[in-house]
Structure formats: C-alpha cells, structure tokens
Homo-oligomer: A and B are copies of this chain.
Amino acid sequence: MRYPRAFEELIDALKKLPGIGLKSAERIAYKILEMDEEEIKAFAASLINAKKELHRCSICGQITDQNVCDFCADERRNQEIVCVVQNPKDAFAIEKARDYNGLYHILYGVISATNGVSPRDLNIQSLIERISKGKIKEVIIATNPTTEGETTALYLAKILSDKNVLVSRIAYGLPLGANLDYTDEYTLIKAIEGRRKM
C-alpha cells in the first residue's frame, strides 16, 4: 500500500530541503494538507517570489532585493573593515551584537574535502577584487571555529598576505556565561592560550 502519487511528490519535494528527513517530510506534508487552499497558494507564491526578487549583493554576496545590499549601501558603516563570514545569516548574527560597524563579505561555505568544496567554489575572487581597490585596511575572518572554518581562515590569510591589509581572526575562548567545568578541553586550551593581561 503506497501514498497517493501527489502526496509522494510533495514528500519528495520536502525531503530535498536541508534537515528534513522522511519522517519530518511526512509530518510537514500532512500539515500542508490541513492548511486551507489560500494559505498554500500564499506559501507557494512566497517561494517563487523569494527566488524572483532575491539575489546576491554585487559587492559582498549578501542576499538582497537591490543591486547592492543594505550593508554595503550604508555609508555610515566603516568602509575600511570587512568581516568575512561563511553564510549570509552570520552577518545578521554579528549585527545582533550591535558592536561591529564595518562591512561584510559572504563566502557561501567553507573549504571542505569531505563535501568537495574547493576555494574556487566560494565567493573569494570578489573579496580579492574588493581588497585590490585599496580602501579596505582590515579583514576579520569570522568563519566558524571548526576544522573546515579554520582551514578556510588559514587559506584566506595566506592568499591575502601580499595584499597590504591586516588579516585578523575572531577570538576563541569561553562563551560568556559558560561553566568552566563543562567546557571542552580544546576550548579551554584556546582560552588559556589567548589569555590577556588584566
């Protein structure tokens, strides 16, 4: 006994989304059937509309509905610092801290042998072009503190070493509110290594 074809197709479409396995896809599919027709049409339209209106910022790669994103278009931001992040949402995460006021550059991933991602699959060429224009003085590399994020940071530091910019890496250490006792040893090592005079 199998699901009706239209239902199988819906489940197959949902399974392609990240983090959605068969069980979740089934659950979501049932939920979608419970939505009323107008709601589903609005949902479908939001998918198509997002694809139609949104694209990458021509400067930093951030998602935008303009030619240049709101970050890059904001002249009050410090134009001399660029923070390099893995994904568009990382820039918004940093924004939430309300501390950083420079620009961003979105890599769209990290170098990964296991996932077959090489430097040329990332948004790196446009970073080099940005830097070549001479206005940028510091590049903060804010990829995740994982093996792949680290590899990517080292790669970027190397290719930017002859570019007359300061290349820095975000600090490692204990997150605020953390319990030392529950912190993994690698974080502790990094926290001690990175200690500062008080």
Q: Which residues of A are interface residues toward B (Cβ below 8 A)? A: 1-7, 9-10, 12-13, 16-20, 24, 26-33, 35, 37, 39-54, 63-66, 70-71, 87-89, 91-92, 95
Contact = CB atoms under 8 A, between A and B. Distances in A.
User: Among the interface residues A9, A52, A64, which one has the most CB atoms of the partner chain B within 10 A?
Assistant: A9
Contacts of A31: 17-18
A41 B48 contact: yes
17 contacts: A1-B71, A1-B91, A1-B95, A6-B49, A6-B52, A6-B53, A6-B65, A7-B54, A13-B46, A16-B35, A17-B28, A18-B31, A32-B50, A33-B63, A40-B51, A43-B47, A44-B45
Given A7-B63, A47-B32, A48-B44, A19 B24 contact: yes
Given A17-B31, A31-B18, A92-B3, A10 B87 contact: no
Main secondary structure of the interface of A (DSSP, over half): helix
B1 A88 contact: no
B32 A17 contact: yes
Contact of A51 (B2, B13, B33): B33
